[in-house]
Structure 1
Amino acid sequence: MSTSHVLVIGIDGTRLDFLESEPTPHIERVIGEGFLAPVRIEDGTPDVSGPCWATIATGTTVDRHNIRSNDLEGHRLAEHPDFLTVLSRDFGLRTYLAVGSWPPLATTDSHGPVFARPSRVTFAEFEQNAEGCDDGDETVTRDAERILATEEVDAAFVYLGVIDACGHEHGCGDQYRAALHRTDFRIGRLLAAVAARPDRATEAWTFILVTDHGHILDGGHGGGSDAERTAWIAAAGPGIEGGADYGTLRHVDVAAHVYAALGVDARVVLDGKAFASVV
């Protein structure tokens, strides 16, 4: 039984400046034990979910995975698979995907899925609006709580989408802030589930929180402004120095760090590298 485990939480459409100014005690706990670093979406990568989540999942740039919009048609994910698929297929590890509000991550909707072959999937489809995404996030959080607390999971990706949905519907105002607070609470429940595992004392867990893109204040993204193209990564775990300066990271670094944290030599092309502090 492996003692190394990774939980990646994807938090869609969360502006870095709002994260830094709003009270988010559970996210702040991860940051306090590790780091928060900005991500600049790379030139040539549209600041929309499809390309950004594919880059995060595969550790490769758009020139390799070829996802350039929220329609994944023409993708090259067979050549550049996601980290959950690689871990389950090539190493026999137990992987888990939980998605409640953006179907292409987990289903064939829009020529998906981004995550092709995880060992286990929780998918709950709701209306693609703020209320539906909130319901979806709550549904998958409940299921992920149970699985993370009681079952063997080596690597997991849990997607939470209500913040982005609120940005689109209402702009980045009070409802956007409230969605950030609800999401932080759900993240706290996921962290508590890991803490409640029977063998937690002997397990080494890495936690990675990542957003795909930002928003303009009036709501929306894809226009190329700094507010839209600024994302972020927060992480804590073995080998991550708390409070260190990790500079500006890249989305492609997430998959590379997942493999490094689990101690596997993934025989796939990677454009990123495991997180390292700036000396």
Structure 2
Amino acid sequence: MMKKIMIVSLLVFVLGQSWGQEKTKKALFVIVDGIPKDVVDTVDTPNIDAVAAEGGFTMAIMGGDPETYSETPTISAVGYNSLLTGTWANKHNVWGNSIKQPNYYYPTIFKAFKTVFPSKKTAIYSTWLDNRTKLVGANLPATGHFSFDYYYDGMEIDTLHFPHDEQREFIHLIDEAVSKEAAAHVRKEGPDLAWVYLEYSDDMGHKYGNSPEMIDGVKKADVQIGRIWEAIKYREANFEEDWMLVVTTDHGRTVDGYGHGGQSERERKIWIATNADNLNGYFMDNEQEMVDIFPSLAHHLGLSLPKNQAMELDGVSFVGHVSAADFEVDRVRESLKLGWKAFAKGERGRVWIAPSNNFQNGGLDNYWDFGEVNLDDEAATVLLDGLDSKLLKVVLETPSGYLNYWVVEE
């Protein structure tokens, strides 16, 4: 039976806690483009290995759940935005590299970070200008004119200094410039939240498929990642800073290595390497997803989100305490069958359901409280009690955060 209505507004959910910490928490993530897991597994990457040796390395998934509302193309900009917003394309509304109409009501981690910590510094070092101007939406009214404190990008349109060639060597040169600038700026300034994007490996896949050129592109990227890793180690050795580094890729590739965009196993399989030393059971025992990186970075940074935003995240933090993951919902006539995987004992959760999606237009959703569940049970049945809609947003509130699933009428 429904108990009460909760109007999500100013309540706050804390994704991470920062008090009591002596060291300043900082984070940087690297997206190196288009490297399938089976490639990174077989190519010598000593710097990625060094990062993982301090934390961990895992297979992950890009693409949402196939043949459901969250299915997301395995395309570059779509993958970047899935990381940036912690949501799949049905929410952030980026479906291809043209980036036509991003839904900025789902904030990027940079926008969320600066909203909570306006005095802290953000940076982007990128081989693609659209990452800053379109995906993050720098200086746009729709993002509240968010701006990075430092940016280094746009070289791909500078044909004077980087003349274009058919072999795409100019992209490698830009990646070199980007990685060197990132390392120098991190070493000198130590921004609080930063993004490095490297493109050349994807270009080698598109041009040569599974090939020595693709392998060489991965090796070149590893050297570039090494520069950034050295800068982070310098900061940690010389300043009271605790850095979380995440290195990932945005999609896999087709069997021949040339393409991507679909839902084949190789296109969906990506990977995550991190130096985080507080990896939880979700990281150890489960298959991570691209959308898990946002809440993981947020936890490390002590970033709090308004409750209505936290309830929209599709990912689960792979650092710190985790209560549950793998939340799914099936409708059976006038009831919902809920399932999840529990990672802690003796905890309880609460089920909330909203028959609307006003969030996508900047509005508030009315969530009905359907009571508590025992998380150890890993299943529950909820009677809808007359609540009906073509879209039901079902949220499982747990001690470590929120899990959400949409029930969409076909």
- Judge same fold: TM > 0.5, yes or no: yes
- Residue type at the aligned position of 1:250: E
Higher relative contact order, chain-length normalized (CA < 8 Å, sep 6+): 1
**What is residue 313 of structure 2 aligned with on the other side?**
270
Aligned-residue offset at 1:89: 3.4
Secondary structure at the aligned position of 1:231 is classed as: strand
Aligned-residue offset at 1:152: 3.4
**What is residue 47 of structure 2 aligned with on the other side?**
26
1:52 to 68, 79, 82: 79
Which has the larger share of strand? 2
Say if 1:115 and 1:3 are closer, same or farther in 2 by CA, change over 3 A. Answer: farther
- Residue type at the aligned position of 1:29: A
Identity, % of aligned positions: 27
State the alpha-carbon separation in 2 of the partners of residues 199 and 34 from structure 1: 17
- Is the aligned partner of 1:105 residue 2:126? no
**What is residue 89 of structure 1 aligned with on the other side?**
115
Structure 2 unaligned blocks of 5 or more: 1-21, 139-146, 157-163, 323-342, 345-410
Whether contact under 8 Å (2:81, 2:135) holds in the other structure is no
State the alpha-carbon separation in 2 of the partners of residues 120 and 88 from structure 1: 13
Secondary structure at the aligned position of 2:155 is classed as: coil
Say if 1:198 and 1:262 are closer, same or farther in 2 by CA, change over 3 A. Answer: closer
Say if 1:48 and 1:6 are closer, same or farther in 2 by CA, change over 3 A. Answer: same
Say if 1:55 and 1:81 are closer, same or farther in 2 by CA, change over 3 A. Answer: same
Structure 1 unaligned blocks of 5 or more: none
Whether contact under 8 Å (1:57, 1:82) holds in the other structure is yes
Please, what TM-score do these two structures have when normalized by structure 1?
0.90
Aligned length: 272
Which has the larger share of helix? 1
Aligned-residue offset at 1:84: 1.7
Whether contact under 8 Å (2:116, 2:303) holds in the other structure is no
- Residue type at the aligned position of 1:99: S
2:272 to 219, 223, 233: 233
**What is residue 14 of structure 1 aligned with on the other side?**
35
Q: Which has the larger radius of gyration?
A: 2
**What is residue 69 of structure 1 aligned with on the other side?**
96
State the alpha-carbon separation in 2 of the partners of residues 258 and 240 from structure 1: 12
**What is residue 217 of structure 2 aligned with on the other side?**
179
Say if 1:233 and 1:218 are closer, same or farther in 2 by CA, change over 3 A. Answer: closer
2:151 to 106, 121, 127: 121
CA deviations over 1:257-279 (Å, ceiling 9, x no partner): 11100112122342212105878
CA deviations over 1:192-218 (Å, ceiling 9, x no partner): 112223764521111101111011224
Say if 1:198 and 1:22 are closer, same or farther in 2 by CA, change over 3 A. Answer: closer
- Residue type at the aligned position of 1:76: N
**What is residue 196 of structure 1 aligned with on the other side?**
234
- Is the aligned partner of 1:5 residue 2:58? no
Aligned-residue offset at 1:88: 2.1
**What is residue 137 of structure 1 aligned with on the other side?**
175
